[in-house]
Amino acid sequence: MKIIVLFLFLFAIGVQAQSNPYVVETGNDLLRGFQACDDAKTAPNESSLVFAESYCHQAEGYILGAASVIFATAPAKFDVGGVSNKQIYDVVRKYLVDHPETRQKPSCVLILGALEEAWGKK
């Protein structure tokens, strides 16, 4: 039941994001967010920097929020003692790069898959 509530919550966040220019609805969107993080490091002007940082923070915030909800609703399923936010971002990014055939799926599903693969109790 908790997992159903989790997906409904994360789906609602994704639906709200449709009115936002920095959409993080699918894995492709999250990957563009990560690319924006990279672009921010070499932005040629302030306008480009603001756009890149905004999209980057939107994607990172969504990932961290989803991870927090997932870990809180199913703590017995994960072994996450001492895990940093940077580790969570890195794990999700690696999952998206390693599983290109799934990137059209909802972000929350892919984040859950990445967290389960990295820290799920077996």
Residue 106 DSSP label: B
3-state secondary structure of 52: helix
User: What averages of pLDDT result for each successive group of 10 residues across the chain (122 residues)?
Assistant: 58 52 88 92 87 91 95 92 95 98 97 96 83
Quote the pLDDT of residue 17: 46
Domain residue spans of the chain: 2-14+29-119
Six-digit token string for 81 = 């003692």
Residues 6 or more apart in contact with residue 94 via CB below 8 angstroms: 114
Amino acid occupying residue 1: M
Q: Alpha carbon 33 to chain centroid distance?
A: 9
Which of 109, 121, 87, 120 is closest to 30 using CA atoms?
109
- pTM comes to 0.81
Six-digit token string for 69 = 């909800």
